[in-house]
Chains A and B, each alone.
Chain A
């Protein structure tokens, strides 16, 4: 499995995202730039310039028409994927930490930072998909402030107007965005900050990673913990591999934390765990720093990891990956 090294960022990566078709990979970084790449050869399609601070988050709709990004310059931007033009900009008092489209691309949810006296806020915007997309309503459809620990990650569930959130305290919760009410929560889902949350292709379950070194699969309706993956290092990202029964975990202690150990090199590897058996099956090395984000191709043919070292490593799986059955032949539902 020879990786393609994507060198387009000068600062640590913050999020990677494949489009639904899987031909494009979007990356954002602390260097203010969003890049789009061809996933099959790693060529850069283009950049989305305009942000004036770290771009924390990016999401693309299922038609690959609109791209939405959230940045530390307190803006939420809507981009035209094909032209790279910024279509609309929303401004907030604090930085945007997470954005996500809903299933039918009609809404986006965004989390803004709790800072300078402003509370952490969750806003939902209606996206006007008519015409060229430059006319959007400035005011959010819904706005509420989650009580308690601030939210760090979120996504729309299948139930209309219900989002699933991960929190600073390790809590995972379900909110009704219309009312702002937290109607389901698992306070002990994690012991530390939830760092990533990615949905399964049918949005019925999700995987979360946390600084408590654990990743978990939750049912998005009941929040029941289905699987637990306990690793030895702080986790920054967790992704589900479609078609194969694996989950991909990445992380690593930031430099300067703790003493030099023999395990130092092992920390910056993408770990593959068996989704059902909760056993580690392999590691992919390559990064020189902690892995900040992992994304898997929707068809499960390749994955990309973005590191604190500023590189994206795009790996196309070999045949052996699909043929290997480390624990014998099984038929696990996706």
Chain B
């Protein structure tokens, strides 16, 4: 297996794109279809031919034309040789004069001299081209077929990458310890198909059950990468502008001289081809360069059809895939635009889109099928002169403005989509007229409803973190009015409040469920399946708490949740399941199934007790590894389920039956493990007893004299008598005479 980018065999590509060397006849063309003449007409014909060529823009002189003669008949052969000044002229003439009608009977057939030579030398016998043997590619999603349904995670520590299975304690084992070397870090693709390593030479993707290299992207000194949501494309970024050295390999998979000076590249993952490069530095403003670059710089629409990037203050440029041409040949010119976000695709949208695709391929006129929702993006512009700040919801590719909302006294906006694309929250940091204090509004767009109604939640405090419940109608915020907010220093822990809100169906607005006051939590991590949420204090040197909350504690079956909430007391289902502490943690991540949580302390941030821990959703520690030089922990993402909604419902309904088999498995395994352990322990006890007998026998003889003595002491202690003895001891006696 090629382990590093150095060892990769490029010879196939090099051969394919090898430069053909000039053998001196490239500027020579053979023109066929010239009238057959005798010598008397030679001059006239040559003059005529020269004129024809000149008329098409390639001027030739009569002396460049050579006409071979058939000496036996005294007539010309019907073709001529034309020599041009250079290859470019020859190519031009070839394009212009081929199939050129010279007169009613004659049509020029132009060929390169070198070609004629090559075709003449061609072997006439037909050789069946060897069909390349079909090499079946391994299944890139093989890990999903794990009989125990385990998830995987990758750890990067020191120079070592390890990929583990995570399941029940007995099933958690090392899956792979690849010998990848010299890379910055590792990253999974969004559906977990590939794992990427960033090398000096570029990006490498690995995958399949053998963890063989699957693709490579030669972007030297790459620092950041971003996959498109459907794993079709990859964006790479390097802080150094692309330089293509002399003699660098050329081809669709390589950066070409045209790409020099750019630093973002877009690649096709399946073919490995470079699609386009961009520059992040815009020519005309120097302030943008100083600002921290936003990553991902290119934002993908959820269906991989478009990729867009913003030029701050000017426009959003949307490119179509896979051509990477600017959509509609022009960008969206938006004065002052700061940021935008694509609307994510919900499960429903995806189904609709798939049905759409089906009907269009079948050509069947199935108009009954609901048209899939168009892509949407939202952007905001700040206040300029007399214009208010504005949040705009835009349909794409129709470019129709769906909803606009004006805002005043805006300092900053942040855009948060709920992951199904049902809701959009715009977190608006507003300032008072004096600009002294900042407070926060949440403008919530209900995107699924007609006319996109907007509702405002006004808060007095600054909101530091906002998070939607995945697939849910709830969100959580971290707010703070701590005076230290905004000037972080060592040892300062900011006091925060955490609040949960939920959509009230009757009134159609978001109502506070519960506030948890005076915490230090600054990070909200919803379980990917919703319902459970973890509040963490990240990046603090003195606090490192984890709180595990359940928002539907009273609901027995999460499947019957809809419609029941209103009957219960508002917010009564919120329950703290457990608290935990992982000292100096830097990262918190749920596994894709929402059953486990991993926390890690990376040596990229600090060097105190690096390592990771895995907890279950109740906050019980499953494993904890303290490892110095620990850097990264990432769960392997899972693709979306292949089961339809009905099948999922079926599974939920018959959960009891399914779980019975699992319970049996568990029980069997437990007894298996304990049987082994019992055997081991029995052996240990037997060994110990044997040694004790031996050593006693050695010292005291078989069953020896000592036994008697020991027996005596034993019986003494056993027949314990309680004897109470009072001893009056006169320690000192002093007689004192009292003198009156």
Contacts and interface: CB of A to CB of B under 8 A. Distances in A.
Interface string B662-699: 00000000000000001001001100110111011011
A277 interface: yes
A259 B695 contact: no
B609 A262 contact: yes
A277 B681 contact: yes
Contacts of A204: 692, 695-696, 699
Interface stretch (A6-14, A124-132, A323-331): A323-331
Nearest to B689: A333
Contacts of B696: 202, 204
22 contacts: A202-B699, A202-B710, A204-B696, A204-B699, A205-B695, A219-B691, A221-B698, A226-B688, A261-B583, A261-B608, A261-B609, A262-B544, A262-B581, A262-B609, A276-B685, A328-B681, A330-B685, A331-B685, A332-B688, A332-B689, A333-B688, A334-B692
Interface in A198-227: 202, 204-205, 219, 221, 226
Interface of B: 544, 581, 583, 608-609, 678, 681, 684-685, 688-689, 691-693, 695-696, 698-699, 706, 710, 717
Nearest to A201: B710
Interface of A: 158, 202, 204-205, 219, 221, 226, 259, 261-262, 275-277, 299, 327-328, 330-334
Question: Which 6 pairs show the lowest CB-CB distances between chains A and B?
Answer: A262-B583, A333-B692, A204-B695, A276-B688, A333-B689, A330-B685
Given A262-B581, A262-B609, A276-B688, 5 more contacts: A158-B699, A204-B695, A204-B696, A259-B608, A261-B609
A218 B600 CA distance: 40
Given A332-B688, A332-B689, A333-B689, A327 B681 contact: yes
Contacts of B583: 261-262
A73 B678 CA distance: 53
What is the predominant secondary structure among interface residues of chain A facing chain B? loop
B678 A328 contact: yes
A202 B717 contact: no
A299 B699 CA distance: 22
A296 to B, nearest CB: 15
Contacts of B685: 276, 330-332
Nearest to B608: A259
Contacts of B695: 204-205, 219, 221
Contacts of A261: 583, 608-609
Contacts of B681: 276-277, 327-328, 330
Contacts of A299: 717
Which has the most chain A C-beta neighbours within 10 Å: B608, B695, B696, B706? B695
A199 B684 CA distance: 21
A219 B698 CA distance: 11
A333 B699 contact: no
A333 B693 contact: yes
Nearest to A159: B699
Contacts of B710: 202
A289 B717 CA distance: 35
A309 to B, nearest CB: 24
B699 A221 contact: yes
B249 to A, nearest CB: 51
Nearest to B698: A221
B692 A276 contact: no
A22 to B, nearest CB: 9
What is the predominant secondary structure among interface residues of chain B facing chain A? helix
A221 B710 CA distance: 20
A205 B694 CA distance: 12
Nearest to A227: B688
Nearest to A301: B717
Contacts of B544: 262
Contacts of B691: 219, 226
Contacts of A221: 695, 698-699
B554 to A, nearest CB: 34
Nearest to B706: A202
A225 B698 CA distance: 17
Nearest to A327: B681
Contacts of B684: 276-277
A331 B696 CA distance: 17
A330 B687 CA distance: 13
A328 B608 CA distance: 39
Contacts of B678: 328
A204 B691 CA distance: 11
A158 B696 CA distance: 11
A58 to B, nearest CB: 23
A257 to B, nearest CB: 16
A328 B677 CA distance: 11
Contacts of B692: 204, 333-334
Nearest to B684: A276
Contacts of B688: 226, 275-276, 332-333
A158 B701 CA distance: 13
A277 B680 CA distance: 9
Contacts of B608: 259, 261
A232 to B, nearest CB: 10
Nearest to B678: A328
A332 B123 CA distance: 90
Contacts of B717: 299
B678 to A, nearest CB: 7
Contacts of B581: 262
A234 to B, nearest CB: 17
Contacts of B699: 158, 202, 204, 221
Contacts of A331: 685, 689
A333 B695 CA distance: 11
Nearest to A157: B699
Nearest to B680: A277
A259 B610 CA distance: 13
A263 to B, nearest CB: 8
Contacts of A333: 688-689, 692-693
A112 B731 CA distance: 36
A276 B692 CA distance: 12
Nearest to A158: B699
Contacts of A277: 681, 684
A221 B695 CA distance: 8
A307 B692 CA distance: 33
B205 to A, nearest CB: 38
A226 B689 CA distance: 12
Contacts of A259: 608
A185 B379 CA distance: 79
B715 to A, nearest CB: 13
A259 B544 CA distance: 17
A332 B583 CA distance: 40
A261 B584 CA distance: 9
A2 B581 CA distance: 27
A209 B678 CA distance: 28
A261 B610 CA distance: 11
Nearest to B584: A262
Nearest to A333: B692
B225 to A, nearest CB: 34
A327 B706 CA distance: 31
Nearest to A20: B713
Contacts of A328: 678, 681
Which has the most chain B C-beta neighbours within 10 Å: A226, A261, A333? A333
A331 B685 CA distance: 8
A276 to B, nearest CB: 5
A313 B695 CA distance: 34
A330 B686 CA distance: 10
B444 to A, nearest CB: 40
Nearest to A260: B608
B197 to A, nearest CB: 32
A259 B717 CA distance: 48
A226 B583 CA distance: 37
Contacts of A202: 696, 699, 706, 710
A333 B689 CA distance: 6
A330 B689 CA distance: 11
Contacts of A332: 685, 688-689
A221 B688 CA distance: 16
